[in-house]
Structure 1
Amino acid sequence: MTELQSALLLRRQLTELNKNPVEGFSAGLIDGNDLYRWEVLIIGPPDTLYEGGVFKAHLTFPKDYPLRPPEMKFITEIWHPNVDKNGDVCISILHEPGEDKYGYEKPEERWLPIHTVETIMISVISMLADPNGDSPANVDAAKEWREDRNGEFKRKVARCVRRSQETAFE
């Protein structure tokens, strides 16, 4: 896959998402000319603790996309077991393709070149609705999610949702 082919694929995916928006998120370029850096706005899924939130994240694509996955980082503060304290998203679909050296994930759960921005975002929205506490990126959030879901975890998420609403369109 050449860089030109990669850029054309990203342009096509962006055009498609703008023409046929997918419920739950919107996407655009951070800098109008750089197809490898996207900003996404994720709407907290209904009937979850994140409902009503408007979370901003960045997707950074490698030049050999789709052979390798993009990196995703929340810019808006979010308290979640699968998002580390720096905002980096840790889910299988964004892990390098192939065997998992730790044995947690099957190769088919990891990055595959058939994935698109849409499939990534659907996975992230699903992650918000149903965290994976078995392989946390934020151990403190995972512990609270398991032990005090309706107490401290819920309070921290509610604070993040409120802040996200205040800063969504800055």
Structure 2
Amino acid sequence: MASQASLLLQKQLKDLCKNPVDGFSAGLVDENNIFEWSVTIIGPPDTLYEGGFFNAIMSFPPNYPNSPPTVKFTSEIWHPNVYPDGRVCISILHPPGDDPNGYELASERWMPVHTVESIVLSIISMLSSPNDESPANVEAAVSDS
């Protein structure tokens, strides 16, 4: 029996195939695993990333959409909100509820209404306007300013 998570992910994949979104493409890493997606983000215009193609892997937990996926760039990318190992650090990918560190409002963190599309659009937005306040890559944040 397919889980609620896999049914939801299948629906989101079908929606993205039918209605592609400008700025990225997404598909499965392996067609037998709905929980691992390959995403290619096109560098947004008027940014350092313009014209680039950046590949990432989105890994969804079995209890998606109650918990967020992880997103990790497999392409090399230098950005204040991307850890040196490629993991993306943005609020909507943080677990739901209050931030134990007090930096983020609960409303900025993961909510089950997010879709693959809204996550990737948030990452594209992050590429356009980095958050230097809480950098994952301190060196990139410093050299950026």
TM-score, length basis structure 2: 0.98
RMSD value over aligned CA atoms?
1.0
Distance (whole Å) between structure 2 residues aligned to residue 94 and residue 135 of structure 1: 14
Aligned length: 145
1:88-167 to 2 correspondence within 5 Å? 88-146=87-145
> 1:22 aligns to what SS in structure 2?
coil
More helix by share: 1
Structure 1 gaps of 5+ residues are 147-170
Give a deviation string over 1:82-141, Cα, whole Å, max 9, x none.
001000000000000001011000000000000000000110000000000000000000
1:12 counterpart residue number: 11
Q: Deviations over 1:125-167 (max 9, x none)?
A: 0000000000000000000011xxxxxxxxxxxxxxxxxxxxx
- Structure with higher Rg: it is 1
1:31-110 matched pairs, under 5 angstroms: 31-110=30-109
More RCO (CA 8 Å, sep 6+): 1
Provide runs of 4+ in structure 1 moved above 4 Å. Answer: none
Identity %: 60
